Amino acid sequence: MNFRKTLVNLIPGPLVRVFAAPYVAGDSLEKALAAADKFHAEKKLDITLDILGEAETTESKVKAAVEVYYRALAALKNRPFCTLSIKPGHFGYYVSPAFCKANIEKFAKACQEAGRGLTVDMEDTDITDWTLQLYRELKPKYPILGTVLQSRLYRTEKDVESLAGVGAHIRNCIGIYNVPGTLAMTNKREMKENLLKLTRKLVAGGHYVAVATHDVEYIKKARAILEELKVPKNRCEFQMLLGVPRDSIQKELVDAGYTLRVYLPFAEDWRDSIAYLRRRLIESPTMVFLVLKNIFKRN
C-alpha cells in the first residue's frame, strides 16, 4: 500500500485528471445531471450525486459548497431516481462541529420536505463517533437520512449495535480512507467477508442495507444472503462507483428487480476531483494499472 501510495502521488495532477476522468461526472452540476439522466434512461440505474471536496477549513468555502448542494436538490425535483450524498468535512466540520451540524440539519430538513434521500458519508476515523452520534440524533426527525459503515474497521460491528432501534439506512462498504492497522483490517478478503457478516447483522437489526462493492463474487454472495433472509427488494439495494465496468452484473441485478445505485461524483474545481481520484488509485491496484497503461500508451 505504501509503495502504491508513493507511485500514485508521483503521477502529475493533470495526468490523473485526464486518464482517470471516467470516475468523475464532470466539472459542473449540469454535466452530472446529464450523466445521471443517461444512466437511468439507458440502464435503469439509480444515482446518488456527490460533490467532491472535503476538509474545508473556511466558512466561505463551506458555504459555497453547500450552495451547490441546494442547487442540486432543486434540480432533482423531477428525478425521483436520484439521491444526494454529503461529507461532514465538506459541510464545515473542520471549521466547527456545531457549524457543520447546523448545516447538515438544515439541508436534511430541506431534503425531507422534498422527499429526497440524503446520505451522510463516512470520512476519516477521527470523526466516526461524531458522525454516528449526529445520525442517531437526526434520523428520527428526518427519515430520508442515511449514513455509511465501513467493513474494514474492527469497530463496525459494535457501530451497527449502536444503531439499534434507529431503523437506519446504511451504505455497507469496505471504505477507502487510510486507516492505521490497529483500527482496521489489512486483508481485502477479510474485509469482504466482514461486509457479508455486517449485511446479515444490519438486516437482523431491521435496517435498510445498501451493499456497496464491485467484487462480483461478493455481490452474488450478498444477494444470496438477502434472498435467504427474504429481504423485500424495497428494503435493500446494491451500489457501485461511476467508472467501474460492471455492466453484466448491473443488468442482472436490475432485471431481478433490485435497485442498483451508482455513486456519481462531480466537482466544480478539478483539484477536488484529483484528490478523490488519487485516493481511489491508492486503494485499487486495478485502477493504478489502467491509469498507468493509458499513460504509457499515450507517450
- Judging by beta carbons within 10 Å of its beta carbon (0-12, 13-18, 19+), is residue 57 exposed, middle or buried? exposed
The alpha carbon dihedral of 14, 215, 258, 248 has a sign of positive
Q: What are φ and ψ of residue 246, in 5° steps?
A: -140, 40
- How many DSSP H helices and E strands does the chain contain? 12, 8
Please tell me which residue in 46, 116, 159, 171 is annotated as part of the active site: 171
- Per the residue annotation, which of 27, 46, 121, 159 is the catalytic one? 121
Alpha-carbon gap, residue 63 to 65, rounded angstroms: 5
Grid cell for residue 241: 462507483
Q: How far is CA 173 from CA 70, 116, 162, 298, in A?
A: 26, 22, 18, 34
| Whole-number Å distance between alpha carbons of 132 and 120 | 9
* 171 carries an active-site annotation: yes
Asked whether 171 and 146 are in contact (CB, 8 A), the reply is yes
Contact status, residue 56 vs residue 65, Cβ threshold 8 Å: yes
Count of CB atoms within 10 A of residue 285's CB? 12
- Cα separation of 261 and 31, whole Å? 18
Catalytic machinery residues: 121, 171
